[in-house]
Structure 1
Amino acid sequence: MTTYHFVGIKGTGMSPLAQILHDMNYNVQGSDIKQHIFTQQALEERNIAISSFDKENIKADQVIIAGNAFPDEHKEIVRAKELGLPIYRYHHFLGEFVKKFTSVAVTGSHGKTSTTGLLAHVLEAANPTSYLIGDGSGKGMENSEYFVFEACEYRRHFLSYEPSYAIMTNVDFDHPDYFKDVNDVFDAFQSMALQVQKGIIACGDDPYLHQMQAKVPMLFYGMNDNNDFQAGNIQVSPEGTTFDVFVRNSFYETFSIPGFGKHNVLNALAVIALCHYEQVEVSIIQQQLKSFKGVKRRFSEKVVGRQVLIDDYAHHPTEIKATIESAKQKYPDKEVVAIFQPHTFTRTQTFLNEFADSLSQADAVYLCDIFGSARENAGDLRIENLQERIQNSHIISEDTIDCLTGHGNSVLLFMGAGDIQKYQKAYESQLAS
């Protein structure tokens, strides 16, 4: 029997893909760096073998799936070529694999992971559903009707997919190491839209998505009156957010979510629109929206005394603003403290002023050193360049993290896409001692 060998199995897309193949009774193994990454837990729970990188891992009966972070010169990929094995890049393999199902690609500059997780949670209560979420979660079912997956725009990798449906949450300028500007990003999404087979659910409040051309029906969702699916009468309580949904101006139903902030209402609305189109019973949608526990590293909370510690992946000014808004809505009586680690020098340089503006929405701001990518050069950029743009902000390290104890009744938002969790761990250790 063929074995699928994953080069870089701990990647946020690779790990869930390995989980899916394993769940569908394929032989799966992989290799990666030794360092512990949160995505490996689900692999270990399934007893999927993880080795250190070594060309001896590569054997004659394997199909190789290579993570995009690893060049063709990687020793395992070189060995696979010598043995004449089939080698697929992650996105190429996934593009072929999803053709067996009614597939839903969830894409957009922000909100992909949360929306993918929410859609999978709702759909699987109605029909057999496999899913791949960019927080490292995957589930495969051999008799799946649906395949829900996160589709990333970076390096236009999502052009390997021809999904049945696409949900498009927004278009914003990000990944400045690859895209030139927001029009270049829009061009990538426009190319993706033309590959969708059955229908597109797009946020009609987004100025770019509104101009999208497609060969399939497009349904728009949002807060504005001109959307096919519109949210209104939004009420916020300590338990979450409740809102009415109108389909082409006719009242459809009332829904409640445990989340806060406009972005969470929009994500739910995208899911409601797709499920309505696929004729999922409204009672199932209501019940599943209400019971959704969220995805990893998206507003993940831990209460310690009078402080609430929140781990969040926000690494773009738009996402930081949304995370701070959520915290203020959920905890109106607490001070909101932002602890932010910028991710990549190119993104930090490109959005210096925007980062300053969005972080300034918090009541207090602490900055961690920039988490650079191996592919880039820091140049003259330092974390001080951001600090000087934010009034009363402070630079913090693992050694000086105990200063956060001074914020008594507060929400501490640990935000970033690098290794910001180590700062939260260091702070929790301080509290414990």
Structure 2
Amino acid sequence: MTLKKNFNNLKIHFIGIGGIGISGLAKYLKAQGAEITGSDIAEGSATKYLRSMGVPITIPHSQDALKDQDLVIHSAIIKPDNIEILQAAKKGIPVLSRKEALEFILGNKRVFSICGAHGKSTTSAMLSAIFPHFGAIIGADTKEYGSNVREIESQNIVFEADESDKSFLNSNPYCAIVTNAEPEHMESYNYDLDIFYDAYKQFLSSACKCCINIEDPFLATLNLEAIKLSPSEDIKNISYILRDDEPYTQFELRDLGAFEVWGFGEHTALNASLAILAASPELSIQTIRDNLKNFKGIKKRFDILQKGRLTLIDDYAHHPTEIKATLDAVKIYSNLKGQNKIIVIWQPHKYSRLLDNLEGFQKCFEQNCDELIILPVWKAGEKEVLIDMKKLFNQYRPIFVDKIHKQGNQIALLSQNKIIKTIEEGIAVGLGAGDITYQLRGEK
């Protein structure tokens, strides 16, 4: 069958609907008029939210979840032998992976598509704040509207594109925005830099207009018509302030005047500048300046969980470049608050990433880290690899623990289920893309 593109009353079933990527598509398509159902192996915050919206959800997966749907979309982790995939085949219902579905979903939309190894979630959320009348699908919950999706019907959409599985090539960019192109997720590109960079070239060439950071070594080599940001030349007079203990960066951009945005760091000004320049042909500069103030950060990115004698920050940084930028921002925050001790709690994410970037990880804690606490590597489905972490990071005299747990306003460090130390004051920042975010919140 040929699927219609207006989505109105189209019946779509999502397998793995509890994941942030798939739930985002489900929320967005519901806002476009589609009839949504879904399933997952367990209940979670996303499934509970979707239920509250009237979406029927089956827990766990069951062939009974497939009735008369027009289309099935599944997350990347769903296997071909999934009971619902097999049932869809029996019923003759088309099945698309999330990656395949993007082309179908975004194919007739005017997409502002943001990608890059670092900063894409933040830049996407900033651009969504600037365009409150656009739909949005972001890879993290923005605090502006408490979701990773702005659920409105619109021909325009801000979309966080993902280069990790090449799905950004299916995002149909009207405007392609690239924060940087540092090699990451190289397993998706056969560890071949030519293939990796060719994908970025393809992404940019498919857009009507582009906005790029030309101080990225690869992006600087491209000969293409684009809005080109040179941070060192275009961004001036960066300063930082605290307002109600919340961080704000102030800066001037080219001849456009002064701007203020939530967050700390030169990378924050860079991300905001890309969003501003991408939006400048669409809105007046004053409207952009005003709307940008609606950005209040996103979950797990410099996410201030607690203020007081012990300030607690959760950050998704899981690559050396990201960790260094986050710790630079924490140092600014520390100086302004007068809390001098910075305690870093690091949960390495994936053995492959740790080994591929080992030298960078060994150096990224050299500044702005007074005490380093290291959790076990979050495997993310990978097989365990024996790594002598004590030897590799010995210069920091780190504390190795099995887990952490929030107890009141303190953080307990546990080894073999025994508390070996309690963090009671200073600024503690958790770094990682695994379950450290739940440990910091006392949810695990």
TM-score (norm 1): 0.88
Could you tell me which amino acid in structure 2 is paired with residue 413 of structure 1?
A: V
Query: Partner of 2:372 in structure 1?
Result: 365
Give the secondary-structure state (helix, strand or coil) at the position aligned to 1:413. strand
* Structure 2 residue 349 is the aligned partner of structure 1 residue 343: yes
State the distance in 2 between where 1:147 and 1:294 align: 19
Distance 1:169 1:254 in 2: 21
| Percent of residue pairs identical | 27
Give the corresponding residue for 2:316: 313
1:397 corresponds to 2:402: yes
Q: Take 2:172 and 2:431, find their aligned partners in 1: how far apart are those partners?
A: 33
Q: Which among 227, 233, 240 is matched to residue 236 of structure 1?
A: 240
Aligned length: 408
Q: How far off is 1:369 after superposition?
A: 0.6
Residues 384/46 of structure 1: CA separation in 2 closer, same or farther (3 Å cut): farther
Q: 8 Å contact 1:131–1:147 — kept in the other structure? A: yes
Q: Name which of 202, 205, 208 aligns with 1:194.
A: 205
Residue 301 of structure 1: SS of its match in structure 2?
Answer: strand
| Aligned partners of 2:13 and 2:69 also within 8 Å | no
CA contact (8 A) 2:18 2:43 kept: no
Q: Name the CA shift for 1:49/1:308 in 2 (closer, same or farther; >3 Å).
A: farther
- 1:99–1:163: 8 Å Cα contact kept in structure 2? no
Note if contact 2:23-2:46 (Cα within 8 Å) is conserved in structure 1: yes
Give the match for residue 431 of structure 2.
415
CA contact (8 A) 2:10 2:33 kept: no
Distance in 2, Cα, partners of 1:112 & 1:386: 30
Paired residue type of 2:376: D
Question: Cα deviation per residue 1:196-219 (whole Å; 9 max; x = unaligned)?
Answer: 1x10100011111112344xx311
Question: Which of 137, 160, 167 is equivalent to 1:157?
Answer: 167
Checking the alignment, whether the CA contact within 8 Å between 2:186 and 2:196 is kept in structure 1 is: no
CA contact (8 A) 1:234 1:244 kept: yes
Distance 2:354 2:122 in 1: 24
Deviation string for 1:278-301 (max 9, x for gaps)? 2x0222211222231111211111
Flag structure 2 segments of 5+ consecutive residues without an equivalent.
Answer: 1-8, 142-147, 405-412
Match of 1:111 in 2: 119
Question: 1: distance between equivalents of 2:230 and 2:347?
Answer: 31
For 1:235, give the aligned amino acid. S
Judged with a 3 Å threshold, the aligned counterparts in structure 2 of structure 1 residues 25 and 324 are, in CA distance, closer, same or farther, namely same
Which one-letter code corresponds to 1:372 in the other structure? K
C-alpha displacement of 1:385: 5.7
How big is the shift at 1:67? 1.0
Q: Secondary structure at the match of 1:405?
A: strand
Partner of 2:30: 22
Instruction: Write the distance in 2 (CA, Å) between the matches of 1:86 and 1:379.
Output: 39
Tell me if structure 2 keeps the 8 A contact 1:194–1:213. Answer: no
For the structure 1 residues 2 and 212, does the alpha-carbon distance in structure 2 shift closer, same or farther, using more than 3 Å as the test? Answer: same
DSSP-derived class of the 2:20 partner: coil
Moved more, 396-405 or 297-306: 396-405
- Is 1:96 the equivalent of 2:112? no
Alignment correspondent of 2:303: 300
SS in 2 for 1:224: helix
| Residues 1:81 and 1:292: Cα distance change in structure 2 (over 3 Å) | same
Q: Does 1:55 align with 2:67?
A: no
8 A contact 1:39–1:135 mirrored in 2: no
Matches within 5 A, 1:202-221: 202-214=212-224, 217-221=225-229
Q: Find the partner of 2:263 among 235, 259, 262.
A: 259
Paired with 1:385 and 1:146, the residues of 2 have a C-alpha distance of 51
Check conservation: 2:110, 2:155, Cα contact below 8 A.
yes
Q: In structure 1, give the amino acid aligned to 2:73.
A: I
> TM-score, normalization: structure 2?
0.86
Letter in 2 for 1:118: M
* 1:189-236 deviation digits (Å, cap 9, x = unpaired): 11211221x10100011111112344xx311113233xxxx1111122
Q: Distance in 2 between matches of 1:383 and 1:22?
A: 47
Given that 1:345 and 1:378 are in contact with CA atoms closer than 8 Å, whether structure 2 keeps it comes out as yes
- C-alpha displacement of 1:407: 5.1
Q: What RMSD in Å do the two structures reach over aligned CA positions?
A: 2.2
CA deviation vs aligned residue, 1:49-92 (integer Å, no higher than 9, x gap): 33221222122334101112223232211221121101122122
CA distance in structure 2 between the partners assigned to 1:112 and 1:96 by the alignment: 22
1:138 and 2:146 aligned: no
Contact 1:272 1:285 in 2 (8 A): yes
Aligned AA (2:164): Y
Q: AA paired with 1:419?
A: D
Contact 1:397 1:423 in 2 (8 A): no
